Amino acid sequence: MDWGTVSTEDLIEALKEVDWSSPPRPLNEFFSKFTVPRSSNKWNSRLKCNLYYYRTNYFLMIVFILGLGFLRRPLAIVAALSTALTIAFLNDSFAGTFSEKVTRTVRRFSPHLAAKMRPPLMPVLRGRPSSKRAIYICGRPRWQFVLLFSAVSFFLWFVSCGLLTLLWALSIGLLATIMHASFRTPNLKARLNTFREEFRAVWRNYSDL
């Protein structure tokens, strides 16, 4: 796969739809081999490939750096977790898994309430959905959860006075991510894994029709 032909919009869309529940890559692989890209095109292709392949590692690394920055601000840690959860809700796979697990837990105590948390059925025309499948969390549109947790996160950041610390920690985390993705040499395993995940995603799309 030529990552140089993949646009930034396509990469963001793929990161939204891909499954984020996969475990992070081993540390000996994550810090295995680093080389300087030979050209800007090689750098662009390498950056996109590594961001996709090591996405879970980068996410955990940023969360770890944020945690170090807020060791003396417990309320800011809660705000960081709320912000991370808000961002995670934007991923289709995480939103669906989160909704399913919460509904399953509620069903143990109140089956009637769990029935109300099911997503509405989409109308089907000629064997296909009449519109693009909307994402629901616990029976509510996803944007409501994103808006709610965004408001809670902003309030917690304001109360904890940790906005400046957040900016510094987030900048360091993003800089470390870009530096690693730029110099980590993509290996054959990463390319094969990318093809396998893309095939599974395409197969799921066909099975939904």
Helical axes 74-88 vs 163-183, angle rounded to 10°: 50
Q: Whole-prediction pTM value?
A: 0.61
Q: What is the pLDDT of residue 206?
A: 46
Question: What's the pLDDT tens digit per position in 128-178?
Answer: 544 456 788 888 888 888 999 999 988 888 887 767 777 888 899 999 999
Average pLDDT over residues 98-120: 83
Question: What's the pLDDT tens digit per position in 10-58?
Answer: 777 777 766 666 788 888 888 888 989 888 888 888 888 888 888 889 9
Residue type at 167 in one-letter notation: L
CA distance 65 to 180: 15
